[in-house]
Structure 1
Amino acid sequence: MAVHLFKKMTLSSLYQKYMVPASNEVINTVLSYVKEKTDGRPLEMAVDVGCGTGRYTLPFAPHFKKVLGVDISESQITLAKQHTVANNVSYMVAPAEKLPVKDISVDLVTAALAAHWFTADEFFSEAIRVLKTRGCLALHGFYPAIQIEYKDVSHELTAVISEVLDTFYQFYDKNIEQIFSHYHNIYEAVPLKDKERITDIPMTFQKSLPEIMGFIESGYPYQAFVEKDKKGAEELLILTEKRFREILGEEADSVQLNMHMKHFCVLACKH
């Protein structure tokens, strides 16, 4: 498995700086579901499993009395702590399969772009253990396909990023098959009867060309490429940036490009 890559500070730093920002659409979808299922009761605690550097941990802070982020990567947790100022958010190094939380104490267990790395049956058992009655489970991620929109060169820009993602396919861990199926198998494996799966949740954000290059580096497939063929990976980056610059011309260093992608979400409620 490629999980060891997430423990390296090099990847953690890139991930913190360049990874896709948290999707407000996904956050709102999860919060609406939780509020509906909990009948409007005060929300005491949320646990973000596989929290990384806290991108999806912090947005829940205004809605819960306490939020805990857990991850097996000490480097990611270190960065999460450095970038968190909310007093009700804390972080711990812990595996998804052994949550450091009391029984029946949590209103929401969530995982963003992480559930496919977990040992499913053990994680689900833990989630059910810690969830209160009518507590919720929310697992989400995004499909590895991106459209870049800018003036009349959207097609050319999208073709470049698509070719890069296609190149990365050979470096994907088998767990990533769950991503390509929009968590279909994970949804089927959730041992709760009250559940649903939502696909094609749209998201748009902006990135500069340097930020797009950083985003490419921040993905574990690129880091896996580096481990296997460092020179080849570096050459890919150089060539990709050159192609982007040729398309954008003199605007390459100043433009903000619209990035479009789609998320999916598995939601479930414990009765």
Structure 2
Amino acid sequence: MASKLFKNKTFSSVYHKYMIPVSKEIINMVLDFVQVKRNGQPLEMAVDGGCGTGRYTIPLAPHFKKIQGIDISESQINLANQYNLLDNVSYMVAPAEKLPAENNSVDLVNAGLAAHWFKVDKFASEAARVLKKKGCLALHGFYPTNKIEYKDLSHDLTVVMSEVWDILRPYIDKDTEHIFCQYKSIYEAIPQKDKQLITDIPVKFQMSIPEIMGLIQSICFYLIFLEKDVKGAEQLLQQTEKRFQDILGENADSAQLTMHVKHYCVLACKD
């Protein structure tokens, strides 16, 4: 399913433009963990598995001498290369289950919003192979909440968003189920003894109505809905946008709504 979804060029463009902003909280959490486990040693190499268009590769890059982003989607990697301006960042098409790195050579293997697509056992084995002693693994994602805040209209806006997720919920498949259990099953599959799972990390950010509509289209289970029922998916977008506009009235074009999500993160260190 992941291969089919992310090889869609239109979806790749929507995903790059509208997926929620990178979480600074998660970036800081990962880097703090790596610095502690690596005992402050200079960080030479990172691999960003399932990097997509480089959304997490780029903010990690200043902290490593070199970072390699990999993804199975050529269209995602093409966009990543298009927007890459950093000399220490490179991208290539490759599966997360076959990391392009030598044994014991990597300080961090990262995967943001991606590990639920992997064959976790094979990926975990590969991560253990390429990581240095005391090298780190970071797997993180988010799940959408219904909560939207805007002045005294928060309740009505939240009701609309709740109904959107209710409509999309039947299109959650076995891969994306990991999102809603906050990677608990992935955490359990990681073989390292030194590991931790941090859940329900609150993050909020500002979005306009067009950006929220783009966000909905960038969610993988919306694309599954679209493939199965084009008319229904298009109607969902049209009706949702109109409901938001009706609630906000004259402020609809200028309003910046506060969106809430919950992030989670699996951190592990090689013995």
- 2:167 is aligned to 167
Q: Say if 2:115 and 2:139, in contact at 8 Å, map to a contact too.
A: yes
* 1:207 maps onto 2:196 in alignment: no
Q: Measure how far apart 1:3 and its partner are.
A: 3.6
Q: Pick which of 177-186 and 261-270 moved more.
A: 177-186
CA distance in 1, matches of 2:134, 2:114: 23
The Cα offsets for residues 236-267 of structure 1, whole Å up to 9 and x where unpaired, read as 10000010001100110111111111100000
The Cα offsets for residues 194-233 of structure 1, whole Å up to 9 and x where unpaired, read as 0001011121111111111111111111111111111111
- 1:79 is aligned to 79
- 2:155 is aligned to 155
- 2:94 is aligned to 94
Q: Say if 1:171 and 1:221, in contact at 8 Å, map to a contact too.
A: yes
Q: Secondary structure at the match of 2:199?
A: strand
CA distance in 1, matches of 2:109, 2:265: 13
CA distance in 2, matches of 1:34, 1:229: 44
| Structure 2 residues without counterparts, runs of 5 or longer | none
- 2:267 is aligned to 267
Q: Say if 1:25 and 1:202, in contact at 8 Å, map to a contact too.
A: no
Q: Say if 1:53 and 1:77, in contact at 8 Å, map to a contact too.
A: yes
Q: Secondary structure at the match of 1:20?
A: coil
- 1:217 is aligned to 217
Q: Say if 2:146 and 2:159, in contact at 8 Å, map to a contact too.
A: no
Name the amino acid aligned to 2:225: F
Normalised TM-score (structure 1):
0.98
CA distance in 1, matches of 2:7, 2:181: 26
* 1:8 maps onto 2:12 in alignment: no
CA distance in 2, matches of 1:166, 1:57: 32
Q: Say if 2:202 and 2:262, in contact at 8 Å, map to a contact too.
A: yes
- 2:125 is aligned to 125
Name the amino acid aligned to 1:52: G
Q: Say if 1:2 and 1:224, in contact at 8 Å, map to a contact too.
A: no
CA distance in 2, matches of 1:185, 1:3: 22
Normalised TM-score (structure 2):
0.98
CA distance in 2, matches of 1:227, 1:177: 19
Q: Secondary structure at the match of 2:47?
A: strand
Q: Measure how far apart 1:144 and its partner are.
A: 2.6
| Structure 1 residues without counterparts, runs of 5 or longer | none
Q: Measure how far apart 1:2 and its partner are.
A: 4.5
CA distance in 2, matches of 1:70, 1:127: 13
Q: Measure how far apart 1:163 and its partner are.
A: 1.1
- 2:236 is aligned to 236
CA gap 1:34/1:146 in 2 versus in 1, 3 angstroms: farther
Name the amino acid aligned to 2:179: I
Q: Say if 2:144 and 2:260, in contact at 8 Å, map to a contact too.
A: no
Runs of 4+ in 1 over 2 A off after TM superposition: none
Name the amino acid aligned to 1:205: F
- 1:48 is aligned to 48
Question: How many residues of Structure 1 are paired with residues of Structure 2 in the alignment?
Answer: 271
CA distance in 2, matches of 1:148, 1:80: 30
The Cα offsets for residues 57-95 of structure 1, whole Å up to 9 and x where unpaired, read as 101111000111100000001111111111111101000
- 1:34 is aligned to 34
The Cα offsets for residues 120-174 of structure 1, whole Å up to 9 and x where unpaired, read as 1110110001000000000000023242110001111111112111111111121
Q: Say if 1:70 and 1:92, in contact at 8 Å, map to a contact too.
A: yes
Q: Secondary structure at the match of 1:147?
A: strand
Name the amino acid aligned to 2:253: D
After superposition, the CA RMSD in angstroms is 0.9
Name the amino acid aligned to 1:63: H
Q: Say if 1:199 and 1:263, in contact at 8 Å, map to a contact too.
A: yes
* 1:104 maps onto 2:107 in alignment: no
